[in-house]
Amino acid sequence: MKKLTAILLILVMMFSLAACAPKAEEEATGTDLPSIGVTIYKFDDNFMSFVRRAIENAAADKATLELNDSQNSQATQNDQVDTMISKGVKALAINLVDPQAASTIIEKAKAADLPVIFFNKEPDAAAMASYDKAWYVGTTSSESGVIQGQVIVDAWKANPAWDRNGDGVMSYVLLKGEPGHPDAEARTKYSVETVVAAGIQVQELELQTGMWDSVKGKELMDAWIAKHGDAIEMVICNNDGMALGAIQSLNAAGYFEGDKFMPVVGVDAIPDALEQIKEGKMVGTVLNDAKNQGGATFDLALNVALGKDPLEGTSWTLDETKAVRVPYVAVTIDNIAFAEEAYK
Ligand code: BGC
């Protein structure tokens, strides 16, 4: 009798638990909208905050986002992906911390039969080819280097006085983004190669990573000004965040007053950099279209979350590596209004 009562009690408990537990999908969304799991490598990144905003705006009434700040830790991101999968998201949109970690995420997505859209940090071709439900949204990294190089060439040729010592050589310092990041590697290589290909002789005074970060950019520039002073004739930055840091440092060293000038170029065209261009403290930048990259990431993620073709109802196109590549555009004072529009 005692045993029977115990069994009955257990059965009652099991039923009531089952009745309380929402289905995985409902738990994730709380609504009928599909739930999409998103990670940003770190919220504290100038450019990525604009991509994030574009994703959030696009999602508005179409999907529920499980949005995660991976705080620059791949281990944290891996855990976040596990959690999102167990909550029942229908698709993943992943801004990797470590561009080499795509295969780890793909293994998890594959095991749960979930589609995954990588964005901003491009996985290598082998990882992308290993899963038919993986796509990428970003840019053609080399293009930003070539365009930045052209901005430098045009400005250098138009301003012979920038060759301060008149030796016919452009002596530059270069603030690099995160080593191993396809954008950082390509921008570093192609910006300088484009300048050289235009017949300008160059000398590299310094090249170090500022990890895409303003504060690190300022610290490096402080040290380089102390070491080289006016021997620096060009400041090439893999992104605007670091360019802004370099400009702070140059301001403090008395540049941009009277005829003391230093040319600085960046990439991204974030609003703060556009302000510096207007103030004449930055020569130019390259639009890295956050709005369209965020928009495309969401459009593809929503489609695959609903079991549709990733491009259905969109105007995006995929290349042979399953990537949507949003074009870069040169930005100088001449087309600043266009760049301002792009970030609204
Ligand atoms: C941007 C950088 C950003 C990085 C993050 C690049 O495309 O130009 O500003 O820090 O992506 O991965």
77 lies in the same domain as 210: no
Residue 24 pLDDT level (bands cut at 50, 70, 90): very low
187 lies in the same domain as 304: no
Measure 108 CA to ligand 1 centroid, in angstroms.
25
Give 136's contacts (C-beta < 8 A, 6+ positions apart): 117, 118, 119, 122, 123, 128, 321, 322, 323, 324
Q: Which helix (H) or strand (E) holds 92?
A: strand 91-94
Q: Would you say the CB of residue 214 lies under 6 angstroms from ligand 1?
A: no
Check pLDDT > 50 for residue 10.
no
Q: Would you say the CB of residue 45 lies under 6 angstroms from ligand 1?
A: yes
Check pLDDT > 70 for residue 50.
yes
CA angle 166, 172, 174 (to 5 degrees): 175
Strand pairing class (234-237; 285-287): unpaired
Dihedral, CA of residue 243, residue 248, residue 250 and residue 251, to nearest 10: 140
- Rounded Cα distance, 152 and 88, in Å: 49
257 lies in the same domain as 308: no
| pTM of structure | 0.90
Any domain includes 201: yes
Q: By residue range, what is the domain housing residue 246?
A: 142-287
Q: Which of 178, 265, 268 is the best mutation target for the ligand 1 pocket, counting ligand atoms within 8 Å of the beta carbon and taking the most? A: 268
Residue range 299-315, pLDDT digits in tens: 999 999 999 999 999 99
pLDDT of residue 223: 98
Calculate helix-pair angle for 46-59, 290-305, nearest 10 degrees. 40
Residue range 177-224, pLDDT digits in tens: 999 999 999 999 999 999 999 999 999 999 999 999 999 999 999 999
Any domain includes 9: no
Measure 270 CA to ligand 1 centroid, in angstroms.
11
Residue 234 near residue 156 (C-beta atoms within 8 A): yes
Tokens standing for residue 61: 């009434």
| Region 155-173 average pLDDT | 98
| Region 35-55 average pLDDT | 97
133 lies in the same domain as 146: no
- Rounded Cα distance, 209 and 175, in Å: 6
Q: Would you say the CB of residue 156 lies under 6 angstroms from ligand 1?
A: no
Q: Would you say the CB of residue 286 lies under 6 angstroms from ligand 1?
A: no
- Rounded Cα distance, 261 and 280, in Å: 10
| φ/ψ of residue 122, rounded to 5 | -75, 125
> Whose CA is closest to atom 10 on ligand 1?
212
Going by C-alpha positions, the residue among 331, 238, 341, 342 that lies closest to residue 292 is 342
Q: Which ligand 1 atom sits closest to the C-alpha of 47?
A: 9
The total of structural domains in the chain comes to 2
223 lies in the same domain as 159: yes
Any domain includes 331: no
CATH number at residue 87: 3.40.50.2300
| Region 231-250 average pLDDT | 98
Q: Which ligand 1 atom sits closest to the C-alpha of 268?
A: 8
Check pLDDT > 60 for residue 316.
yes
Residue range 89-119, pLDDT digits in tens: 999 999 999 999 999 999 999 999 999 999 9
86 lies in the same domain as 169: no
Side by side, the strands of the sheet bearing 234-237 are: 201-209, 169-176, 234-237, 264-265
